Amino acid sequence: VVDAVDIWAFTRDSVSIRGLMLESPQELLLGELGRASRFCPELERALEESEPIEVLLGTGEAYRFLREIKPVLLESGFGVEAPVWWDTPSGRLGARLKITSDPLDALAEEIGEGASDSAPRLGLTALVGYQWDIAVGSATLTLHEFEQLAAQKAPLVRIDGRWVEIRPEDVAAAIEFIRSNPGGEMPLGEALRMAFGADSKKVGLHVIGVEASGWVSSILGGDEAVRASLPDIQPPETFHGSLRPYQQRGLSWMAFLEQFGFGACLADDMGLGKTIQLLALMLHERAEASRTGRRVAPTLLVVPMSVVGNWLNEAKRFAPSLDVMVHHGMDRLSGDALVEAVGEHDAVITTFALAHRDREVLARVEWGRIVVDEAQFIKNPAAKQSIAVRSFRAEKRVAMTGTPVENRLSELWSIMEFLNPGFLGTASDFRRRFSQPIERYRDQTRSEQLRGLVRPFILRRVKTDPAVVADLPEKIETREYCHLTSEQAGLYESCVSRMLSEVEQSEGIHRRGLVLSALIKLKQICNHPSQMLKDLEPGATPNPARSGKCTRVLEMIDEVLAEGERALIFTQFRQMGHLLAPMLRHQF
């Protein structure tokens, strides 16, 4: 886009603009303005000037241009830049739902004093006050204030520094809607669905979100409001370790939502420590219960088979006071014996397959919390394991996943149906209201509505988030130089000589293949001679003294273990891993 004032500043008959050569740009501007004036008479005022650069429009003229002339100009091949707010819900008259609830502080004290084994009194079924207000841009008006504004009969109104379109049909619909919906009380879940999922065609107005007060505001008020409302929960003394600041925020967030009866989805990126945040939550729950003498029902952890051992090891390391039971294997308990054993443990770890297979007996237990690790395993709402997990009774529910949505929005519905049953409606309703408009038609309005609905219940952090990066330790890279042993040096020299001899007698693709093959052998020699020679007897332990690399690795691991730390060793070759494993077992 080139401003008209710049066009008149050109002194040449032809100019190049971003690689495009324009001949007689000033005559071209006058000619196109003349052609556009046939559709927009206001441009004729600009053409009265010898060098037209602008035309000023009144409010009525500007509205007519945007509503009537702009589409005609676009059809005629002209490019038209409209204000960013035009044709967006926020740029039009709408309705906003106002939710009122009890103050957070008073309610938190009441919950703390009345803690018991009964189900939470809040959550999505809690009754809240609601009232519809008329929203004009970012401002909320009473019916009387709006009637005064509508009496001006101005098509565009400037409110809070931005223009808002006031259509006559919107005015009539707004007055009728507000008068026919005086407000009252309803369950919070229903109020949220009405605020974020209302059909604008049925309402007659664009529904512009929700405004909340009290404890509901703490949950729905966005990330900053939630962070400000979160209690600063420290891991109890029974937690062996320390949480990074972002992990402590995760602990506080889950405890905060559970306090008010909501299910939580911890969707941190892989490697950010979801497991220890959950273990800290379980220990915090038991520490609080011990102060009031309250019994804590066991937690059921449903996890993939591949991470059962990891959960058990992490619990032993960070939460040794937790009595953890693994429900798996051919000799696992069943029937009354299982129910009785569960009551004697703090947590039970089982797999998705067994959640379905042993569904009947697991459903007999009154669980305090159900945790689904790798929640994408229940992304198919019709799968047997998904149905089984949703059927278990529990006051509290947590889903842990690094990928809340992998392919389709139905996966999000399945996770939310587990966490907060009924919140997003039935699967068919969700498909009609959100999945189809968003996935098929890229409906941004529906996308924003869905984001507003689920945002309070999903905590998503990735490693690149500024708040997370600041909490992570600096990565330190060092190079360790190792000398070849005499055996390695001899093998290395022999391999190079053989490769050079063979390369001289070959050409083309065969020559390249010989070089690549030799490079792989040289890498293997540098790792350990046995990797290249394949001279190790089955069950034998490799001699680390034959490799400079292996000698240094063992020295470094010894230093790490002496500090009480752990190490992760990467190798390019699987065979080298098989050599390192017995070497490390023998040494340590």
Return the C-alpha torsion angle 115, 116, 118, 122, nearest 10: 0
pLDDT recorded at residue 114: 47
Q: Out of 12-16, 342-346, 371-375, which region has the weakest mean confidence (pLDDT)?
A: 12-16
Strand partners, 350: 302
pLDDT recorded at residue 142: 78
pLDDT recorded at residue 444: 85
Condensed to tens digits (0 to 9), the pLDDT of residues 24-52 reads 888 888 999 999 999 999 999 988 888 99
pLDDT interval class at 425 (50, 70, 90):
confident
Condensed to tens digits (0 to 9), the pLDDT of residues 501-523 reads 998 888 888 888 999 999 999 99
Query: Does residue 109 have a pLDDT over 80?
Result: no
The more confident residue out of 358 and 182 is 358
Query: Does residue 226 have a pLDDT over 60?
Result: no
Query: Does residue 267 have a pLDDT over 60?
Result: yes
pLDDT interval class at 478 (50, 70, 90):
confident
pLDDT recorded at residue 509: 87
**How confident is the model over 256-264, as a mean pLDDT?**
91
pLDDT interval class at 532 (50, 70, 90):
very high
Buried-exposed string 224-259: b where 16+ CB fall within 10 A, e elsewhere: eebeebbeebebbebbeeebbebbbbbbbbbbbbbb
Query: Which CATH class, in words, describes the domain spanning 245-469?
Result: alpha beta
pLDDT recorded at residue 477: 83
Phi-psi region of 246 (alpha: psi -120 to 50; beta: other; left: phi over 0): alpha
pLDDT recorded at residue 192: 85
**How confident is the model over 340-361, as a mean pLDDT?**
95
**How confident is the model over 447-455, as a mean pLDDT?**
88
pLDDT interval class at 120 (50, 70, 90):
very low
**How confident is the model over 4-20, as a mean pLDDT?**
81
**How confident is the model over 236-247, as a mean pLDDT?**
94
Provide φ and ψ at 202, rounded to 5°.
Answer: -75, -40
H/E run at residue 190: helix 188-197
* 141: helix, strand or coil: strand
Q: Out of 166-180, 370-384, 477-491, which region has the weakest mean confidence (pLDDT)?
A: 166-180
pLDDT recorded at residue 525: 95
Alpha-carbon distance 19 to 566, whole Å?
Answer: 58
Instruction: Evaluate whether 416 touches 423 at the Cβ level (below 8 Å).
Output: yes
**How confident is the model over 425-430, as a mean pLDDT?**
90
**How confident is the model over 263-292, as a mean pLDDT?**
93
Helices 384-391 & 410-419 angle (0-180, nearest 10): 30
Q: Which of 18-22, 463-467, 500-504 has the highest mean pLDDT?
A: 500-504
pLDDT recorded at residue 3: 87
Query: Does residue 113 have a pLDDT over 60?
Result: no
Residue ranges, CATH 3.40.50.10810, the chain: 245-469
Residue ranges, CATH 1.20.120, the chain: 486-587
CATH number attached to the domain at 486-587: 1.20.120
H/E run at residue 98: strand 93-100
Alpha-carbon distance 161 to 157, whole Å?
Answer: 10
Query: Does residue 371 have a pLDDT over 90?
Result: yes
Alpha-carbon distance 191 to 220, whole Å?
Answer: 12
The residue among 202, 206, 251, 231 whose CA lies nearest residue 87 is 206
Condensed to tens digits (0 to 9), the pLDDT of residues 77-87 reads 999 998 887 87
The residue among 581, 455, 576 whose CA lies nearest residue 526 is 576
**In this prediction, what percent of the chain has a pLDDT beyond 90?**
49
Q: Which of 400-414, 456-470, 489-503 has the highest mean pLDDT?
A: 489-503
Q: Which residues have a Cβ under 8 Å from the Cβ of 59 and sit 6 or more positions away?
A: 154, 155, 156
Distances (CA, A) of 351 to 33, 77, 327, 328, 348: 71, 61, 8, 7, 10
Condensed to tens digits (0 to 9), the pLDDT of residues 169-188 reads 778 888 888 888 888 999 99
Looking at the chain, how many residues does it have?
Answer: 588
pLDDT recorded at residue 391: 94
Mean pLDDT of the chain: 87
